[in-house]
Amino acid sequence: MVTISIAGGSGYTGGELLRILLDHPKINIKQATSQRFAGQPVGMVHPNLRGQTLPLFSKIDELESCDLLFIALPNGKSMALMPRFFEVAPRIIDLGADFRLNSAEVWQQWYGNQHQTPELIKQFIYALPELRREEIKKAKHITGPGCEAIVSILSLWPLIKHGVIEKENIIIDAKMGSSQAGSKATPASHHPERAGTVRSYLPTGHRHTAEIEQELTVNGKRPRVLISATAIEMVRGVLVTIHTFLKNDLSEKDIWKIYREEYGDEPFVRIIKRRQGLYRYPEPKILEGTNFCDIGFKKDRHSNRLVVIGAIDNLVKGTAGNAVQCLNLMLGFEETLSLKFPGLHPV
């Protein structure tokens, strides 16, 4: 059995890691830390896990040696602690933003403060299995994408790789559920303020722009991505509606073939484009609890605009599920192990 621990186990991401790994036949969960809830029952914070997982949270300085350490701390917290984490485990999966960007200068530009351990950045692989499977298999230290970034990258990658869309102005309209803001309460998450919301909270300047452009750079040509983010009354899920512009007059059949070529064998990417039914395009609601990324598209009959639609559960394929998928690759397990939950309908 492989022993794992979770630094930052009391947040929504930590809870999802515990839930998913409970049924993993080759994993033994050793510790989950929480500074706020240290010494208190895990089931008090994650009531769906009562009586099923670790009894109590530990403090972060009580971490013992393990085979693999997940880090699910808020952005900006893991970088200073990483030398200590390196001593705890030979393999690390960091789900925060601290090591996603390739340079400390770009980090400071987008996150507003100086990176504390820039010498460690190059030791981390950006962990998106559909694009970097072979690298992840060999990696010791990986960094998970942001939830809005992962669905946008997967939605755009085939079109960028095949060079069929203009790279100058890719417009992403992202609609976010409330859980993407984390478990810590804020004035914006107070129920009277959050309920019934369709709130444009980041019309420009979304931090995930940097990693999307970074990962979609092909042959040194960096795309120009423009994101607008809207909070809606949904707990789990991200839906991106991406406006791209075709270079040539491709048919929808041509576009379908491009997606099938790239994702036809992928266990967690589905191309969703139906002529009938309620769920003709991707819909976050039916992805709750799953590790799927659903992608659809529609060509504008009156212009060269191609609208791409992507949906995920931000806590699973957007963070914890993708991390477990990477764990399976790193340790030589079946990639889909513990990730086959198909979702619920109706919910």
Q: How far apart are the first and last CA of the chain?
A: 35
Side-chain-side CA neighbours of 291 within 13 Å: the count stands at: 25
Q: Which residues of 65-84 are buried (b: 16+ CB within 10 A; e: fewer)?
A: ebbbbbbbbeebebbebbee
Return the closest-CA partner of residue 323 out of 99, 69, 74, 103: 69
Return the closest-CA partner of residue 199 out of 218, 213, 183, 186: 186
Phi, psi of 211 (to 5 degrees): -75, -30
Task: Give the separation between CA 288 and CA 237, rounded to whole angstroms.
Answer: 7
Whether 147 is a known active-site residue: answer yes
Q: Is 112 left (phi over 0), alpha (psi -120 to 50) or beta?
A: left
Instruction: Classify the C-alpha dihedral 297-234-325-71 as positive or negative.
Output: positive
Residue by residue, DSSP assigns 257-284 as: HHHHHHHTT-TTEEE---SSSS-SS--G
Catalytic residue among 66, 147, 293, 326: 147
Encoded amino acid at 229, one letter: A
Contact 306, 246 (CB under 8 A): yes
Q: State whether residue 70 is helix, strand or coil.
A: strand
Task: Give the separation between CA 71 and CA 95, rounded to whole angstroms.
Answer: 6
Task: Give the separation between CA 323 and CA 70, rounded to whole angstroms.
Answer: 8
Strand partners, 126: 143
CA distances from 291 to 10, 69, 74, 287 (A): 21, 20, 22, 8
Strand partners, 131: none
Residue where the block lists tokens 């379908």? 256
Give the active site residues: 147
